[in-house]
Amino acid sequence: MAGAPSPPSVPITPLLKDELDIVIPTIRNLDFLEMWRPFFQPYHLIIVQDGDPSKTINVPEGFDYELYNRNDINRILGPKAACISFKDSACRCFGYMVSKKKYIYTIDDDCFVAKDPSGKQINALEQHVKNLLSPSTPFFFNTLYDPFREGADFVRGYPFSLRQGAPTAVSHGLWLNIPDYDAPTQLVKPLERNTRYVDAVLTIPKGTLFPMCGMNLAFNRELIGPAMYFGLMGDGQPIGRYDDMWAGWCIKVICDHLGLGVKTGLPYIWHSKASNPFVNLKKEYNGIFWQEELIPFFQSATLTKESNTVQKCYIELSKQVKDKLGKVDPYFNKLADAMVTWIEAWDELNPSPNADAVVVNGTAKAK
């Protein structure tokens, strides 16, 4: 399905060009960007180089980017750099932190432009932006899927008071070709390919958890950014490949608490290569066990009314992680601490616009 890149047939209007950063974690040259050129070139890229910082990553000419390697991360965050994973694509969340934009799109470097059933190249970024800019419907299910898409609406029986929807915080896109399977499923079904193009966007209902994949993901940084922490994975950690899952469970609990929406479905990207299932099994091994305790934990997690910002929610959640998951494995105590460090680092790099001001009689004054 994914052929050689060819210029799109209609000129592309880059939506939110100055309000969105594309975050790419990588260990190799970014030749994959050639295929995305018509779609990504107008945007700013944040490249997070994983692994050996002395290695040079080639970025195709003409892209506007900043690149951070491990040395940069250590220099910028100092001791707090310990919360950013090494030798794992979880390091991408450093890019979310240093961005100054309202929206983030993150994609893996083995993902290419997919085609829709008519053969048209899919502008994944454009679909994500549409998803993020239209409301979600987390409080009641609409059987014709996203009622805000053209040609769709709320069906009979959908309460009118809920039709304004909720602000959309996250847009989770899917993958044609190589599906995002765990190691056991990869081992059992080595030849399975995803060829089903499902022309739908839908809101994950309030109270429902889902497996969030970081391969093709967009979100509103202002609404949910501080909760998009991809945890401690990879080098020196007893687990890998649960970075995006962890973030997905945290953001879902917090979005539910704050009345924000999470969408999944379109857009598809073309996932080119299955990772090695044996290596994956080694990384996932602990996660497969721990997950059986994590899911009930997140399903029953509730946050207090006082947690009325993402940061406060995240700190409250980190305490619950320590209290309730610390006994599953000491790793979760370390992770809970890293969650706090992450928020401290986030706030350091993203000072609130009013942090230096006090409000006196309704008028903001510099301290």
Sites of contact with a copy of itself (CB under 8 A): 117, 140-145, 149, 151-162, 172, 174, 179-182, 184-185, 189, 192-200, 204-213, 241-242, 244-245, 248, 264, 284, 288, 291-292, 295
Question: In angstroms, what is the minimal distance from the CB of 347 to a copy of itself?
Answer: 29
Residue closer to a copy of itself (CB basis): 98 or 254: 254
Query: CB of 135 within 8 A of CB of 164?
Result: yes
Nearer to a copy of itself, 198 or 279 (CB): 198
Nearer to a copy of itself, 143 or 308 (CB): 143
In whole angstroms, the minimum distance from the beta carbon of 324 to a copy of itself comes to 17
Please report where in the chains the tokens 């050996």 appear, as a residue. 52
Q: Give the Cα separation of 20 and 253 in Å (integer).
A: 25
In angstroms, what is the minimal distance from the CB of 248 to a copy of itself?
7
Do 194 and 213 meet the contact criterion of CB atoms below 8 Å apart? no
Q: Report the run of H or E that residue 262 belongs to, with start and end.
A: strand 261-271
Query: Which residues does residue 68 pair with via DSSP β-bridges, in sequence order?
Result: 48
Minimum distance of a copy of itself from residue 198's CB (angstroms): 5
Give least dist CB 183 to a copy of itself, A: 8
Type of residue at 3: G
Compute the distance between CA of residue 25 and CA of residue 103 in angstroms, rounded to an integer.
17
Name which of 78 and 184 has its Cβ closer to a copy of itself: 184
Distance CA 270, CA 194 (A): 10
Q: How far is the CB of 264 from a copy of itself (least distance, A)?
A: 5
Q: Which residues contact 166 (CB under 8 A, 6 or more apart)?
A: 135, 136, 137, 138, 139, 259, 260, 261
Q: For a copy of itself, which is the closer residue by CB, 197 or 331?
A: 197
**How many CB atoms neighbour CB 289 within 10 A?**
12
Q: φ and ψ at 226, to 5 degrees?
A: -65, -15
- The minimum distance between CB 93 and a copy of itself, in angstroms, equals 17
Cβ partners under 8 Å of residue 268, min gap 6: 114, 116, 122, 124, 173, 174, 175, 176, 197, 216
Find out whether the peptide bond into 267 is cis, omega within 30 degrees of 0.
Answer: yes
Min. distance of Cβ 143 from a copy of itself in angstroms?
5
Please say which residue, 37 or 139, places its beta carbon nearer to a copy of itself. Answer: 139
Shortest distance in whole angstroms from residue 249 CB to a copy of itself: 9
Answer for the pair 23, 90: CB distance below 8 angstroms, yes or no: no
Q: For 19, list phi and psi in degrees, rounded to 5.
A: -120, 5
Element (H, E) at 252: helix 243-258
In the bound state with a copy of itself, the residue whose beta carbon lies nearer, of 43 and 154, is: 154
Nearest Cα neighbor of 129 from 104, 148, 97 is: 104
CB closer to a copy of itself, 75 vs 193: 193
Residue 80 vs 92, nearer CB to a copy of itself:
92
Is 104 strand, coil or helix? strand
Q: Which residue has the tokens 């857009």?
A: 267
In the complex with a copy of itself, which residue's Cβ is closer, 21 or 180? 180
CB of residue 165 vs a copy of itself: minimum separation in angstroms? 15
Helix (H) or strand (E) holding 280: helix 277-300
